[in-house]
Structure formats: structure tokens, C-alpha cells
Amino acid sequence: MDLPRFSISELNAAIGVLLERGFVPRFLLEARVVKPQIRKGHLWLTLSDGDASIGAVVWASTLANLSIVPEDGDGVTVVGKLNFWAARATLSVQVLDLRPSLTTVLRRFEQVRERLEAEGLLNPERHRPLPDLPRRIAVLTAVPSSALADLLRTAHSRWPACDLMVLPIPVQGPVEAELCALLERCRGRWLDWGVEVVVLARGGGNREDLALFDGEHLARELSRLPVPLVTGIGHEDDLTVADLVADRRAATPTAAIVAVLPDRLDVERRLDHLRQQRRLQLAQQLQRRRQQLARLDRSRLLQSIRGHLDRHRLRLEGQTRLLGALDPGRQLQRGYALLRRDDGTLVRTGEGLARGDRLCAELAAGTVHLVVEAWQPEKSCGA
């Protein structure tokens, strides 16, 4: 029996052709990264499942587009194909795409969180209050994106008086350095632009797709913002390091803009309520003023009456004193007497008196009955 004869090159080439024709062109691998290292711009690593391992390579052109550069021990999901080097008959996996597994993402999240927490950057006391009626908001998100469309629509509906300044940013992939550079360039200009709040938004996706927002450098840069930061990243259940650094964390991008902007209809209702309260307060104040004026008028009337009575009292007292001074009884006390005829008329002068006329002399302590003997005009009894 004749056996096929090969040279080493021919054998290796035949194996390569067999693998190329008989194996799937692309496949998925769940693996753990072992001893990754970059040489000449390419990433060389070993993929292992704990029982077996295979070498792998990420060419520089692919490495630039990966969401993360894996570290030793990271769990990953690899999209790859087989590479067979005929010259040495070596087999490896060419990585076409690589994403961290959920366990890796969560492990990195915890590592960064612990470091920042130890430094106090996650202390709730650092959180700043949001302005009640912001006039300008900076929105950092992908452009175009459904998240941005929802933000713009919600902002216009809730509070159209607010100006939204949109800054396009990458939201996935190995772009942490790029995003940090953008924030650093803007750091000294937020206040000059009149920005009162920054909203960092990213639509939903797998938790692994949000790994960018777990970056430690990004978290530090966000903590340096001179104005409050509100995040709306992923879904309600997703939590990133950027959310922990933010002054306010919202469940979604739309919820973030809702947290920042007041509801126009709600403000109108509150203003109507305040107007009604103010009208009631003014009516009550007016009623109190009227009552005070009425009391004042009554007080002035009473004062006027008292003054009038006081003047009449003084007048009566003066008249009483005058009458007292003119009281005949007081004259009688001084030794004078009143002469009356029998008919009771006063004798004012002696004219008309005749001898034998009977008179009555009224003294202070009694009455003396007299008979006229003679009348001498302008002469006293002792004359």
C-alpha cells in the first residue's frame, strides 16, 4: 500500500487547508485571560477554561476598537477564528472581538468603588443640590442616539425655557482617555458657558457595554465638575461608578432630564395656587385694615366726645363757682340780710317805705320781723 508522501511544508499546508475548509469560519469562546502582553502593538494572550488552553492574538487594528484591554484573570467572551501558521504548525485563535464577562465587569466595578470610597469621593455629603429653574444644561451623550432624542423631547415638554447644550461623546469602547480629555478641556469653561447642571446620559444595553462608565480616571474627572452632575446610564437596575460619583443618579436618560427640569404644568398649578393664596392674604389684610380704621374712627369719636364733655364740665364748674360766689346765702354768712315785705318781695331801696310798715329781715341763721320807724337815705344806723 502506497502512503502519501509530504514534505513538512506540504503537510502543514494540507493541515491548514483541512482546517480552513472543515472548521467554522467564526465562533464564540467563553474563557479566562492568562498572561496578556502587548508586543509590537499586538496583544498576545492565552485563553483558558481551567481544563484546557489555547493561544490567542489580538492584532493592533482590532485592539484599537476593543471596549477594554483585558487583564490577567479577566473573564471574556471572544469572537474569533482559527489561525494556523503553516511554517511552525501552530494553532491559535485570532480575536475579532472581545468583551468582558459580567463577572469581570462587576469585579472591576467593585475594585474602583473601593478605591474611590476610601478617598471619600463617594461620600453623600459631597452631593450638591440641583437648581430649581436651570437656564442652561449641558448634555453629554452619543449623537445621534435614541437617548438624545428622548432627552430633547422631554426637555421641550417639561421646561422649554431651558437651553440644552449638547456635547457629543463616545459611550462605548476603549475611549475613557478621550472622554476624560474632553472633560478636562471643558473644566474651566462650564461657568463661562452659563451651564448650571451637567447630564451624562447613555441608553440601555448589556451591563458589559457600560464598562466605560466604571473607569477610575473618568470618575475622578467627573468628581471635579464645578457644577452638579446628574447621570442617566443604562437601565434602572444598572449601576456604574459614574453613578456613584454623581450628585444625582437617575434610572434612565429620560429620568435624568426629569430630575433636572421642573414640570411646566406643575409649576403653573403651583403658581395658580400661590396667586389664590396671595389674593386671600391680601383680602384678609384689607379686612384687618378696615377693622383697624373702624376702631381708630371710633377711638377718635370717643376722644372727641370726651374732649367736648371735658370742655362742658370745665364750663359748668366755672359757672358753679360763679353761682357759688353770687349765692345770697354766702352774703348772709358775711353779716348781710335780706329785707322782704309781707308779700315776700325784696326791699332793694328805702323808697316807698313808710312808718309802721312791717318787714322781714332774713339772716344767715334765722329771720327777724321788723317794723319801720323811719327811713334815712344813704345814712347808716349809727349816723
Q: What is the pLDDT, as a whole number, of residue 322?
A: 75
Q: What distance in Å separates the CA atoms of residue 98 and residue 121, rounded to the nearest whole number?
A: 31
Out of 77-81, 163-167, 315-319, which region has the weakest mean confidence (pLDDT)?
A: 315-319
- Do 8-100 and 125-262 show the same overall fold? no
The burial of 218, by beta-carbon neighbours within 10 Å (0-12 exposed, 13-18 middle, 19 or more buried), is given as buried
pLDDT average, residue stretch 157-162? 93
Domain ranges (residues) in the chain? 8-100, 125-262, 266-326, 330-371
CATH class of this structure's domain 125-262: alpha beta
Residues 18-37 pLDDT 10s: 888 888 889 999 999 999 99
What are the C-alpha distances in Å from 160 to residues 27, 214, 266, 345?
50, 33, 14, 110
The answer to whether the CB of 339 falls within 8 A of the CB of 347 is: yes
| Residue 321: pLDDT over 80 | no
Q: What is the pLDDT, as a whole number, of residue 167?
A: 96
Q: What distance in Å separates the CA atoms of residue 253 and residue 199, rounded to the nearest whole number?
A: 8
The DSSP bridge pattern shows strands 136-141 and 90-100 to be unpaired
Q: What is the pLDDT, as a whole number, of residue 6?
A: 87
Out of 94-103, 111-120, 261-270, 316-325, which region has the weakest mean confidence (pLDDT)?
A: 316-325
Helix (H, G, I), strand (E, B) or coil at 9: helix
Residues 196-245 pLDDT 10s: 999 999 988 888 889 899 999 999 999 999 999 999 999 888 999 999 99
Q: What is the per-residue burial (b if ≥16 Cβ within 10 Å, else e) of 286-323?
A: eeeeeeeeeeeeeeeeeeeeeeeeeeeeeeeeeeeeee
Highest average pLDDT, of 12-16, 244-248, 279-283, 344-348, comes from: 244-248
Q: What is the pLDDT, as a whole number, of residue 355?
A: 83
Residues 177-210 pLDDT 10s: 999 999 999 998 999 999 999 999 998 888 888 9
Fold topology of 8-100:
OB fold (Dihydrolipoamide Acetyltransferase, E2P) (2.40.50)
3-state helix/strand/coil string of 244-280: HHCCEEECCHHHHHHHHCCCHHHHHHHHHHHHHHHHH
| Residue 1: pLDDT over 70 | no
Out of 281-290, 303-312, 316-325, which region has the weakest mean confidence (pLDDT)?
A: 316-325
Q: What is the pLDDT, as a whole number, of residue 383?
A: 45
Residues 39-55 pLDDT 10s: 999 999 999 998 999 99
pLDDT band at residue 380 under the 50/70/90 scheme: low
Of all residues in the chain, the percent with pLDDT exceeding 90 is 51
Out of 106-110, 215-219, 252-256, 333-337, which region has the weakest mean confidence (pLDDT)?
A: 333-337
Largest CA-CA distance found in the chain, in angstroms, rounded = 211
